[in-house]
A = this chain, B = another copy of it.
Amino acid sequence: MEIFINPEKATWIEIVKRPVFDYRQLETKVSSILDDVKSNGDAAIKKYTAQFDGVVLNDLAVTENEMAAAALQVDEDLRVAIEVAKNNIAAFHASQTEAVIKIETIDGVVCWRKSVAIEKVGLYIPGGTAPLFSTLLMLGIPAVLAGCKEIVVCTPPGKNGEINPVILYVAHLIGIKNMYKVGGVQAIAAMAYGTNSIPKVNKIFGPGNQYVTAAKQLVNATGVAIDMPAGPSELAVYADETCNPSFVAADLLSQAEHGADSQVLLVASSLSIVEMVHDEIEKQLPVLPRSAIAAQALQNSLAVVMENVAGAFELLNAYAPEHLIIASENAEYLAEKVVNAGSVFMGNYSPESAGDYASGTNHTLPTNGHAKAYSGVSLDSFVKKITFQQINKAGIKNIGRAVQVMAAAEGLAAHKNAVSIRLNEINK
């Protein structure tokens, strides 16, 4: 960990910068897979599944029996844990339901918004070394709550042609029926364009490797909505003298174990805190199964001493972390200073991993500084907010003149006429 002490603002640009990955370099390769699936559907998908996942499949769809049977393979312990997470995630996301509020902006003109579920959504759940069933909870629960009619889940099969039973169990538990054994670029293509087996969707959610990310960006440019731009996971910790350095070290390591490209930033109120955290990392790191990955991520990570609290949060806002832990007994006061972050963990007993799994907040969050303009996934992500206006005769008399004058000033006579013809009818 490189250490900066009260760095000048001019150097912040170095501290807050992220590794640049230009997805355009993958464009040719990814586009050719997208085009192939668009033209050849299931046949292309099966070809790439054989090539990349090493398994030949007859059917892409998971059967109801496979889903129901999965529960028997999941430990009681894990089922209980998933139940806790599910309840908390559902409770928090249900609280995001927006009531219709009708506003009479002027006498006779009533306006409102109504949240209507996106009809067809696709959830991509990566495979790889571990089954990310937590991501299925985070995407599937709000999709079901929002009332999306068709929820399609794609996840790559293992070499045995099966999907990890925990993922199947979670899907079944939360009420998802359309699940397909397909991963990578070919999964994004299937959901973007549709195939005989896999329905086309309106919006695609979910994390993935660089190829999946590139594929999502490419289909997004052609009109399929996506959750948000993706990048390596990140954690910033603000730690002051009321922190517990061993907790801070554990939190930094939990982020670092995600991958060698994980981003970790420690901002501390004194050098001694950085030193104590560093010592704790040295103690905790060696016993971790993924210590090699974590060590590599930590090499690219930074610690910054900011003796001035306002400056510390200015720097953190400039960084705009995906996750921000405020490791302080003063977290309630300090959290008011947060302007840019995906999700904030307040106090010494709020580890990031709580939010990754079970506190109730969503773990699909903006990375790479996107927290300056993007929100994490929420119930909002699965609805459109349609506006309505209901204008009666009194209403059009009240705003008619304004519309006529403004339309005329913009040179749009037919816009004006649409009001005039109504006012003439009323005044007849």
Chain A residues in the interface with B (C-beta under 8 A): 23, 77-78, 80-82, 84-85, 87-88, 91-92, 95-96, 101, 103, 105-106, 109, 111, 113, 116, 118-119, 129-134, 166, 202-203, 217, 221, 223-225, 229, 244, 246-247, 250-251, 253-254, 256-258, 284, 288-290, 294, 331-332, 335, 338-362, 366, 368-376, 378, 380, 383-393, 395-396, 399, 401-407, 409-419, 421-422, 425
Q: Is the CB of A372 within 8 A of B202?
A: yes
6 contacts between A and B (CB under 8 A): A95-B101, A133-B410, A134-B410, A343-B389, A353-B416, A366-B384
Give, as a whole number of angstroms, the nearest-CB distance from A326 to chain B.
Answer: 10
**Chain B nearest CB: distance from A296 CB in Å?**
13
Are A417 and B202 in contact (CB-based, < 8 A)? no
Q: In the complex, which residues of chain B have a beta carbon less than 8 angstroms from the beta carbon of A224?
A: 373
In the complex, A111 Cα to B225 Cα: how many Å?
A: 28
A130–B258 Cα gap in the complex (Å)? 53
Contact status A250-B417, CB under 8 Å: yes
Q: State whether A376 and B380 are in contact (beta carbons under 8 Å apart), knowing that A106-B88, A357-B402, A360-B111 are contacts in the complex.
A: no
Closest Cβ neighbor of A224 among chain B residues? B373
A84 to B134, CA, bound (A): 50
Contact B78 A405 (CB under 8 A): yes
Q: How far, in whole Å, are A130 and B412 apart by their CA atoms in the complex?
A: 9
Task: From known contacts A95-B101, A386-B341, infer whether A417 and B359 are also in contact, taking CB-CB under 8 Å.
Answer: no
Cβ distance A221 to chain B, nearest Cβ, rounded Å? 6
Q: Are A357 and B119 in contact (CB under 8 A)?
A: no
- Which B residues lie within 8 Å of A407 (CB)? 353, 356-357
8 Å CB contact of A345 from B132, B338, B389, B404: B389
- A373 to B129 Cα, complex, angstroms: 32
Q: How far is the CB of A347 from chain B (nearest CB, A)?
A: 6
A384, B373: Cβ atoms closer than 8 Å: yes
Query: Which residues of chain B are near A113, meaning CB under 8 Å?
Result: 96, 378
Among A84, A251, A409, the most chain B Cβ lie within 10 Å of the Cβ of A409
Given contact pairs A357-B407, A373-B384, A417-B250, A395 touches B105 in the complex (Cβ within 8 A):
no
A361 closest partner in B (C-beta)? B387
A289 and B413 contacting across the interface, CB-CB below 8 Å: yes
- Cα distance A414–B392 in the bound complex, in angstroms: 62
Q: Does B254 lie within 8 Å of A417, measured CB to CB?
A: yes
Q: Which residue in B202, B294, B346, B383 is a CB contact (below 8 Å) of A388?
A: B346
Cα of A386 to Cα of B242 in the assembled complex, Å: 24
Quick one: closest B residue to A102, CB to CB?
B95
CA distance A331 to B388 in the complex (A): 11
Q: How far is the CB of A131 from chain B (nearest CB, A)?
A: 7
Cα separation A47 to B372 with both chains bound (whole Å)? 31
A353 touches B254 (CB 8 A): no
Are B358 and A406 in touch, CB under 8 angstroms?
A: yes
Q: Given A106-B84, A133-B409, A369-B223, does the pair A415, B257 have CB atoms closer than 8 Å?
A: yes
Chain B: minimal CB distance from A92 (Å) = 5
Q: B353 and A415: CB pair below 8 A?
A: yes
Taking a contact as CB atoms under 8 Å apart, the answer to whether B78 and A91 are in contact is no
Extra inter-chain contacts (15) besides given A88-B105, A247-B422, A250-B417, CB under 8 Å: A81-B404, A81-B405, A88-B109, A109-B360, A118-B373, A251-B418, A254-B414, A342-B386, A347-B390, A349-B422, A350-B390, A351-B396, A353-B407, A354-B396, A355-B389
Q: Which residues of B contact A246 (CB under 8 A)?
A: 421, 425
Determine the chain B residues whose CB is within 8 A of the CB of A390 once the complex forms: 331-332, 346-347, 350
Determine whether the beta carbon of B119 is less than 8 Å from that of A414.
no
A385–B133 alpha-carbon span in the complex (Å)? 25
Contact B340 A387 (CB under 8 A): no
Residue of B nearest to A382 (CB): B373
Give the residues in chain B near A350, CB-CB below 8 Å.
389-391, 396
Residues of B within 8 A of A345 (CB): 389, 391
